[in-house]
Structure formats: C-alpha cells, structure tokens
Structure 1
Amino acid sequence: MALDPEAGSEDGERLALLSLLIEDYEKRAFQFEPLDPIEIIEFRMSEQGLRQKDLVPMLGSRSRVSEVLSGKRPLTVQMIRALSGGLGIPADALVGRDVEAAASDAERNVDDIDWKRFPYREMERRGWFSAARIYGETAEEMLRSFLGNIVPERQAPVMFRRRFRGDNLDEKAYYSTLAWSARVLMRAKDLEAEVPKFDPAKISAETLRDLARLSWFENGPRLAIEFLAKLGIIVVVEPRLPNALIDGAAMLSEQGKPVIGMTLRIDRTDYFWFTLLHEVAHVWKHLNSSDESFIDRIERIASVEKVEQKENEANRVARDAFIRRAVWERSSARLAPTRQNIQELADKLHIHPSIVAGRIQFESGHYELFREFMEQGTVRQYFSECSFA
C-alpha cells in the first residue's frame, strides 16, 4: 500500500487481490452488530449538548423530530442526508439497514418532500418549466412535472431515491442539487441518441492521459466533451443553482448511460480540467447505479482530512492522469518551482501549464504563486449557450 502502485500494473492487481481476500476474511471471521441509528443520533446530541429543538432545521418540525427519536417515524434518505451533514455522522451509520429499504421509505413518505425548498423562482427564470404550462398550476405541480420529465414512466418522487455522495448537503443545498441534477439529466436525455453505448472496457489509465493531453489545445474543453461523447459519456455544462456549491457530478441516466455535469462555478483552466478528470474517474471506477450520484465541490475534497475513499481514489486517478507520481516527485517544477520549469514540464507532458502551477499551489499552500498561468475567466467562453449569472 505504501508503494501506491498504479491501477492495472502487476503490483496494482496484486494489491487489489489482497484487498479482496482480506475483506472476505473479515466478513467470515468477525461479526459486528449494527448500531441503532436513533442511539447514534442521541449519543451525538448528548456529545454536542443539543436538544430536540436543535434538530428542527434538519428534520423540518418539532413533531417530526419527536416521532423520529421515539421510533414512530422511520428515517428517510432525505433525513439521513440532513442529519449526516448537520451532526457529522457517517450516512452509512444512520441507514441501519439495507440502503434500498431506506430509499423505499423516501419514496413512500412523499409527504416528507418540502416543495417550498426548491429554488422555484430561479428555475422559472431560467426557463426550465414547460412552455405548455397549465393555467393555475401550482409550484408543486410544476415541480412534479419537471421531475417527471426525467422518469415519465414512474412517479416523479422516484427522483428522491437518488443518493448524493461526495459532499455533505444541508436541506437548502439538497433541493437545489436535486433540481440541478434533474436538469442535467434532462439535457443529457436529448443527447443520448447521438452517443454510442458506453463500454467500460474502453476506459483505462491511458485513456485518461489522452483526455488530459487535450488541455494542451486552445479549444481543449470542447475537444474533451467530443472525446468523451465518442466513448459513450455525456457531458453537460449547466450553471449551478443558489445554495449549491457544486463543481461537478457523475451520474447514470435512466437508460444507464454515464452523465457528467459541470457548473464551471470557478472559471479557471486548471479547475475545469481537474474537475472533469475527477468525474471521469468516478464513471470509470465507482458509478454502478442510477439511484446514486457523485456530487463534488473540488476544493472541499482536497481540504478536509477525512473524505470518502472513492473521492480520494478519484483525486488520485485525476492527478496521475496529468502527472504520474514518479514523474512529479523528481521533476524540477516540484523541486525548484519557477516559470521556466513549470512550462518545461507542461511542454514535456503536453498538458496545460496551469495544471502544473495549480499542483504547486495546492501542495505548498501558497495560492498566490504563478497566477499568470491560471487563465482566470477563460473556460466559460467555450460554452456561450449557457447563461452564467
């Protein structure tokens, strides 16, 4: 593990095999009784000196808090998200049973959906609702219809089964994220017929390096989207909604095609490329179910001490796609960072110099260094069809 072997190499395959063997042994040799989610919540409340009223912002009302803590009301996926973010409890600890069962609760308890929390006015301003709206239609009816455009064969609330992984979302961020991801899937739906079937076997570490090298070209962002489309991966650029600090997302459409959403929240060359490669890594390594999405705020993943293992892996895969660890460790750009050394390494690897400069900034913690390479405000111009407020 200390050698951090490259995925697909002989050592990498050996490490993967050993990991599976150890996991199998642990499952057979040790049995752990799952903790009761309510006991976990009460322990954290006691630890933080919280009372029932302090959970109201997370669960919605005093009566709902009381029902949850007394065991009269089951935790829904939505509640788990809110409590996980608000109390700092791992979401898996709050499930307490199979994830699909928890998802079912979310679908059954449609009354838990607070339609007023959607950024309805902003969605309407952007023209997300059908032009053929019915006169007198309420905001809730329009929102249900909007979500139903993604899964017309089922009830719109099925969208609430989708689990957002990667970033902890509070209630406001959750509803904005749900609406944004639905919009991304809706736009992807219009492109699905033009994109070939996705074949995971066509993705490899070398594929990601080929993608990274497109950053060398002036119109690289557009070339990257065309490159991924040929592999069966749809990329949609959609500006974020209020309350949701999203950079990128990876999800599957209802037809099972990988969809990457990008907000271009930070309009900077290195930020675009790292976010894109991070999401492609999720598609390659982690995306298996249309019931979940990976939602990412890149600088948060890089700055917090404990993040989900899959986020760490996506970061590592993205970094290695641009600059392999062995190359970086002995490079002059790292050992003696100067403008010339940064440019020379970028030229050698055929990647944009902002990616090299960004790595130096991150590892040194000095974000004022080499800003001249960053090309702030240059990516959105390639997506003039999007309205960035």
Structure 2
Amino acid sequence: MLHTNTNNIWAPDYSVHPGEVLEEHLEVRGLNQAAFARLCGITPKHVSEIINGKNPITSDTALIFEKVLGVSASIWSGIAADWQLFQAKEKEKRTAQHCAEWVKIFPSDFLKKLKSVVGTDAVALRNAILSFFGVGSEAAYKSRWARRCAAYRHSPTFTSQDAALSVWLRLGEIEAEKLELPPFSRAKLKAAILEIRPLTLLPQADYMPRIKSILRECGVAFIITPCIKGAPVSGATHKATNGRYIIQASLRHKTNDHFWFTLFHEIGHLMLHGDKIFIEGNSASPSDANQQYEHQADEFSTKILLNAKPLDVFPQTRENILAFSRRLGIHPGIVVGMLQHRRSLAWNKFSDLKLKMAEDSL
C-alpha cells in the first residue's frame, strides 16, 4: 500500500499579501499610513514597509493591530503565515522545474497510484514521491535511498531499476514502522533459528504468522512485499528509519525451497554482518566485498537447513530424497531445490515435491 502525507484539505493556489489586507482596512476607516502609525505607536516607515511587503507582520505587530483595528491577532498572524507558506510553495515550484524528468525514473505502476491521489502535475507528483519516502528533497532522497540501492554494486550509476528497488524497500520500511518491536537481540535470534527450522514442514498458512511472531520477539520485522515492476528482488535485510531491523521477502520465485533458503540467508546476514544492507536477486553485479558477504550468508543458510550435514542423496531417487528429508526434519522440496541449484539434479526432476507459495494467504 502506498503511503503519503497528503491530507484531504482545501489548499488554494493563491494567497493575499497581508499588506494588501492592511491597506484595505485603512481605506475603509479613512486612515492614512501616518495616522495609523501614530495610533499604533510605530513609525510610518514600518507601516509602509508592511504594506509594500518589505517587512512581515510579527506576533507583536499583530497584537498591536488587534487593539487598533479590532481584528484578532490570530487572523493577522494567519494571513501572514498563509502568505509565507504560499511564497515558499511558489519558490519550490520555480526550483523544481527539473522534477518532471526525475519523476520518470520511478515505476509506472507506482506513479499511477500516486496520480490517482494527487493528479498528474509534475511538481505535485514530485512532492508526493518525497512524502512517500519521508524526505524533503531529491538530494535527501539520493543520500538515503540511491546510495543504499547501489551500495553493493560495482557501478555507481543510479538507474530506474534502483528507483524501483527503493520503492520496494520503502514499502517494507513503512510496514515495519507500524510494528512495536523490542530492541534487536542477536542472542534471541540465534535461539529462534532452532524454533523456525521445523516450521518448514508446516503449510504456509501456519508457518508464516509463526515466523513473523518469532522474529518480532527478536526485534526483527519480517515483511512480505510482492515484487514490483523493475525490481526483480527476492529478499533484503535493512533497517527502518526508527532503527529497527527488517527482513523483507518478495516470494518472487513462489516456491518453498527459494523462500526458506532466502529466509535463513537473510537471518545469516543479521547474525554475521550486523546493520549493513543486503539486497538479493537484483541483476546488477555486487561489489567484491558484498560477494564475500553473500557467500557467507549462503553457507549459513545451507548449514542451518542441512543441520550441518553434507548433501549426499545418492542415488538421487524420490525415495532417497524423501528419506533424507525426514532424517533432516525439513520439507523435501527444500532438498530438491538445493540439489537443482547445485546442478546435481535436473531442474524439472522431482519439482513436484516443491510447494507453491501463495501471496493471497499472507
């Protein structure tokens, strides 16, 4: 679900300068600026500068005008605040002329949903995107999101794929920020692995809420966010703006072998690598350092799933795979997937043992 800070309030695209309002009040009362200045106890120059927009109406001045003109100080302050906000918005429009091109880097489906809320104006879309990401400018977006998307790649170039990836990550972050979590505990997470592993034998509808509950107790938000166009990602480990850890999965491959391997892979990152961000399944090449981290997380996941035993299903018959899985206490589809990944088993052989994942049951 998209999240913006857009409220259903009336917001006119114009504002009246407070000096104009003051000038009208003086005309109605037949007061010139000098006479009004004497009544207020301020200089005629000060009054002239307010009327001509060279000096603002301060809170002190608003209180004086209330006594002299009988118009509430809050009204004068409101008129002045409305004018200042209008001027700021106009300045933002002038400095955001480039925003039409910036907006285009984001996924079309994402933009379509925003347009249904704010319309098609490029500046409005730009502001809605910034609101969605919780930042105040394109530079702030780039600092927080573009860098993290490219942090583990050889190429520093930010692409439309990175923009899509940042949307996917932000969707997970928004959901995670809704949760009340205890502080992250590595010790609890280590113990939780033994509790999570046997869940591979349960149906998805049973194990998914259990995983979320167990990880929540460890201070980790487990979020399922379906893939979005342009971001072929299977999982990620990252931190929300409130500092909470997130394991985010997409169910991209929609089979239980991929899901369980990815889950323990991401848990491995938290156990081994701390608060670095890891994104799995994107097409860009990871950096050399990240390749090492990925290899370590793969080994961690393999060790957990195989219970530190070698993958030695020979000969590779259905009966042997089922028996081996029973000895390990994991679902046979996971063993099939690992054998296929190692190319010890043809991709189409025994694939019926792997279970399909359903997004609508989450």
Q: What range is the shorter-chain TM-score in?
A: 0.5 to 0.7
- Name the counterpart of 1:179: 167
Measured at CA, do residues 209 and 369 of structure 1 come closer, stay the same or move farther in structure 2, by a change above 3 Å? farther
C-alpha distance 157-272 of structure 1, shift in aligned 2 (>3 A): same
Structure 1: give runs of 5+ residues left out of the alignment.
1-110, 384-389
Deviation at 1:366, TM superposition (A): 1.8
Identify which of 294, 301, 319 aligns with 1:311: 294
Query: 2 CA distance for matches of 1:210 and 1:167?
Result: 34
- Residues 192 and 214 of structure 2 are in contact (CA less than 8 Å); yes or no, is this contact kept in structure 1? no
Specify which of 200, 204, 208 is matched with residue 193 of structure 2: 208
Q: Judging changes above 3 Å, is the alpha-carbon distance between structure 1 residues 113 and 226 closer, same or farther for their aligned structure 2 residues?
A: farther
Aligned-pair CA distance for 1:270: 0.7
Alignment of 1:220-235 (within 5 A): 220-235=207-222
Q: Is the 8 A contact 1:233 1:257 kept in 2?
A: yes
Aligned to 1:372: 352
Cα distance in 1 between the residues matched to 2:115 and 2:100: 19
1:296 aligned partner: 280
Q: Sort the Cα spacing of 1:313 and 1:117 in 2 relative to 1 into closer, same or farther, 3 A.
A: farther
Q: Is the 8 A contact 2:146 2:163 kept in 1?
A: no
For residue 333 of structure 2, the aligned residue among 354, 374, 377 is 354
- Equivalent residue number for residue 253 of structure 1: 240
Distance 2:281 2:103 in 1: 25
Structure ID, larger Rg? 2
**Please, what TM-score do these two structures have when normalized by structure 1?**
0.58
Aligned mate of 1:328, from 310, 319, 323: 310
- Residues 18-72 of structure 1: per-residue CA shift (max 9 Å, x gap): xxxxxxxxxxxxxxxxxxxxxxxxxxxxxxxxxxxxxxxxxxxxxxxxxxxxxxx
**In the TM superposition, what is the alpha-carbon distance from 1:287 to its structure 2 partner?**
2.9
Pick closer, same or farther for the CA change 1:185–1:210 going to 2, 3 Å.
Answer: same
**Corresponding residue of 1:66:** none
Identity, % of aligned positions: 21
TM-score w.r.t. the length of structure 2 is 0.62
Partner of 1:148: 134
Query: Alpha-carbon deviation of 1:311?
Result: 0.3
Which of 319, 324, 328 in structure 2 is aligned with 1:345? Answer: 324
Residue 17 (structure 2) aligns with: none
> In 2, distance between residues paired with 1:166 and 1:208?
27
1:190 equivalent to 2:170? Answer no
Task: Give the drift of 1:349.
Answer: 2.2
What SS class does the counterpart of residue 145 from structure 1 fall into? helix
2:310 is paired with a residue whose SS is helix
Q: For 1:369 and 1:337, how far apart are their aligned partners in 2?
A: 10
Partner of residue 269, structure 2: 282
Is the contact made by 1:185 and 1:253 (CA closer than 8 Å) also made in structure 2?
A: yes
Determine if contact 1:180/1:240 at 8 Å carries over to the other structure.
Answer: yes
Check conservation: 1:357, 1:370, Cα contact below 8 A. yes
The root-mean-square deviation of aligned C-alpha atoms, in Å, is 3.5
SS in 1 for 2:355: coil
Q: Distance in 1 between matches of 2:103 and 2:360?
A: 34
- Equivalent residue runs for 1:61-140 within 5 Å: 115-125=102-112, 127=113, 133=118, 138-140=124-126
Q: 1:381 to 1:318 in 2, by over 3 A?
A: same
Q: 1:298 to 1:314 in 2, by over 3 A?
A: farther
5+ residue gaps in structure 2? 1-97
Equivalent-residue separation in structure 2 for 1:366 and 1:113 (angstroms): 49
| 1:212 and 1:322 in contact (8 A); partners too | yes
For 1:336 and 1:295, the matched residues in 2 are separated by 36
Contact 1:215-1:273 at 8 Å conserved across structures: yes
